[in-house]
A = this chain, B = another copy of it.
Amino acid sequence: MVVEILAVGTELLLGNIANTNAQYLSRRCAALGFSVYHHTVVGDNEKRMTEAIKQALGRSDIVILTGGLGPTEDDMTKEVCAKVMGFSLEEDARTRKRISAYFKASRRKDITKNNWKQAVVPVGAKVLDNNNGTAPGLILERDGKTAILLPGPPGELEPLFSEQAEPYLRTLRPETIYSKMVKVCGIGESRAETMILDLIDSQTNPTIATYAKTGEVHLRVTAMASDEEQAKSLVKPVVKELKKRFGVNIYSTREEEELEDAVVKLLKKYGLTVTTAESMTGGMLAGRLVNVAGASECFREGFVTYSNKAKRKLLDVSKSTLKKYGAVSSQTAREMAKGGVFATGADACIAVTGFAGPEDSKEEPKGLVYVSCYLGDEVFVEECHFTGNRMKIRQQAVVRALDLLRRCILEQYHEK
């Protein structure tokens, strides 16, 4: 079955925002086993919207429309779509009540006549209750074609889709789709693909899709079968094979788990605390740890030591090391990690020093980075060579440092 994603919004055509909804919906549709052949964006213009909806319904089975469901006159996705598909409009009492309650709960008193426009729905449409905004989602079916209308703000669209549109879409497929994510760190995308080329080449069901992320590769294994149990049993051996091939480089098999989540989980599991000592990442590494709600249990303090003087004063890096080997050296990285532990009493310290650019330095090319990890009276140092701009190099350094800590914990604490 073919799905098409049609976004409505002049703000997209002006480049005010990127069409991240299309990315989100495409990923979810791929995971559900639907094919997406077209994304289209049109503005808040009746004529062009009418043409785009007609064309999309003509060539696809399901059209997901995003945006244009707001209370203003410009917002006309619902009206135009209903007209094209031959639905009349009527106020929905339940939706009016929900909007009323929504305004009450968010203590907003600026409810205007316009807002009730959002309670009007196509007669016969399925209404999807929006718990994060006023505009309801809508499903319209006619002549074997389906239109799904979702509000534009991602904070409203995503829960509406995953909680209500996705279960509906599952009913349209005779087969069940089941997919599992395998998140890999410390291996580049092309090397990861080479390592599983035989699996990718011979795949039919399940399939393996690879997604590159800064410093990471995500692999999605998707199977189709007549019921969930069967689909799961198809996915299982492939995931097992991936685990065998990527081993310790896999940090998670959970969709929503980020690298920092996996690291904080391991720290908590073994009752460890960590501190950070950062030069060129300048706080980004600590910032990633604090992304995790509840990181305070294992992360209490961190140091940004951008200058040599700060490295000496806060981390006790020796003057002779800095002079002899320079600030960007495995020796300095080693002393930074040690110094972090001694300054804080934490069980572990991760440290980063390197050249982020934009220009090559006098001594070394940009992209040369040392990450180190002190744990259990040992210090591990990794020399890395990253490419890309200043920000990209720093982001890769952060990922590598988190991953080094993760692997050190596994090495020392994990019962094999």
Question: Which residues of A pack against B, CB within 8 Å?
Answer: 7, 12-20, 22-30, 36-43, 45, 48, 52, 209, 211-212, 276, 278, 280-287, 289-291, 293, 295-296, 299-307, 309-310, 313-314, 344, 356-359, 390-391, 394
Residues of B within 8 A of A283 (CB): 276, 278, 282-287, 290, 302, 304
- Inter-chain CA distance A394–B289, complex, in Å, is 13
Residues of B within 8 A of A295 (CB): 282, 306
A/B interface sample: 27 pairs, CB < 8 A: A13-B37, A13-B38, A15-B27, A16-B27, A38-B41, A39-B41, A40-B41, A276-B283, A278-B283, A282-B286, A282-B289, A282-B295, A283-B284, A284-B287, A287-B287, A290-B304, A290-B306, A291-B390, A293-B356, A293-B357, A293-B358, A299-B306, A300-B310, A301-B303, A301-B313, A303-B304, A310-B344
Given A304-B302, A314-B301, residue A22 in contact with residue B19 (CB < 8 A):
yes
Residues of B within 8 A of A38 (CB): 13, 40-42, 48, 52
- Inter-chain CA distance A344–B304, complex, in Å, is 12
- Inter-chain CA distance A289–B19, complex, in Å, is 29
User: Do B307 and A304 touch across chains, with their CB atoms under 8 A apart?
Assistant: no
User: Do B301 and A305 touch across chains, with their CB atoms under 8 A apart?
Assistant: yes
- Inter-chain CA distance A22–B7, complex, in Å, is 13
User: Do B37 and A40 touch across chains, with their CB atoms under 8 A apart?
Assistant: no
7 further A-B contacts with Cβ under 8 Å, apart from A283-B286, A287-B287, are: A7-B39, A12-B39, A18-B22, A283-B302, A296-B306, A299-B306, A303-B303
Given A14-B26, A18-B19, A48-B38, residue A309 in contact with residue B304 (CB < 8 A):
no
Residues of B within 8 A of A358 (CB): 293
User: Do B19 and A15 touch across chains, with their CB atoms under 8 A apart?
Assistant: no
Q: Could you tell me the distance in whole angstroms from the C-beta of A190 to the nearest C-beta in chain B?
A: 11
Residues of B within 8 A of A290 (CB): 280-284, 304, 306, 394
User: Do A23 and B27 touch across chains, with their CB atoms under 8 A apart?
Assistant: no
User: Do A276 and B293 touch across chains, with their CB atoms under 8 A apart?
Assistant: no
Q: Could you tell me the distance in whole angstroms from the C-beta of A327 to the nearest C-beta in chain B?
A: 10
Given A37-B45, A303-B304, residue A27 in contact with residue B13 (CB < 8 A):
no
User: Do A37 and B27 touch across chains, with their CB atoms under 8 A apart?
Assistant: no
User: Do B45 and A30 touch across chains, with their CB atoms under 8 A apart?
Assistant: no
- Inter-chain CA distance A344–B306, complex, in Å, is 13
Residues of B within 8 A of A313 (CB): 301
Q: Could you tell me the distance in whole angstroms from the C-beta of A351 to the nearest C-beta in chain B?
A: 13
Residues of B within 8 A of A276 (CB): 283, 304
User: Do B12 and A26 touch across chains, with their CB atoms under 8 A apart?
Assistant: yes
Q: Could you tell me the distance in whole angstroms from the C-beta of A337 to the nearest C-beta in chain B?
A: 16
User: Do A304 and B301 touch across chains, with their CB atoms under 8 A apart?
Assistant: yes
Q: Which of A45, A280, A301, A309 has the most CB of B within 10 A?
A: A301
User: Do A304 and B291 touch across chains, with their CB atoms under 8 A apart?
Assistant: no
The closest CB in chain B to the CB of A305 belongs to: B301
Given A211-B16, A283-B283, residue A307 in contact with residue B302 (CB < 8 A):
no
Q: Could you tell me the distance in whole angstroms from the C-beta of A259 to the nearest C-beta in chain B?
A: 15
Q: Which of A290, A296, A299, A313 has the most CB of B within 10 A?
A: A290
User: Do B39 and A13 touch across chains, with their CB atoms under 8 A apart?
Assistant: yes
Q: Could you tell me the distance in whole angstroms from the C-beta of A261 to the nearest C-beta in chain B?
A: 13
User: Do A27 and B14 touch across chains, with their CB atoms under 8 A apart?
Assistant: yes
User: Do B291 and A391 touch across chains, with their CB atoms under 8 A apart?
Assistant: yes
Residues of B within 8 A of A15 (CB): 22-30
- Inter-chain CA distance A307–B289, complex, in Å, is 13
Q: Could you tell me the distance in whole angstroms from the C-beta of A203 to the nearest C-beta in chain B?
A: 15
Residues of B within 8 A of A26 (CB): 12-15
User: Do B286 and A304 touch across chains, with their CB atoms under 8 A apart?
Assistant: yes
The closest CB in chain B to the CB of A285 belongs to: B283
The closest CB in chain B to the CB of A43 belongs to: B37
Residues of B within 8 A of A359 (CB): 293
- Inter-chain CA distance A17–B209, complex, in Å, is 13
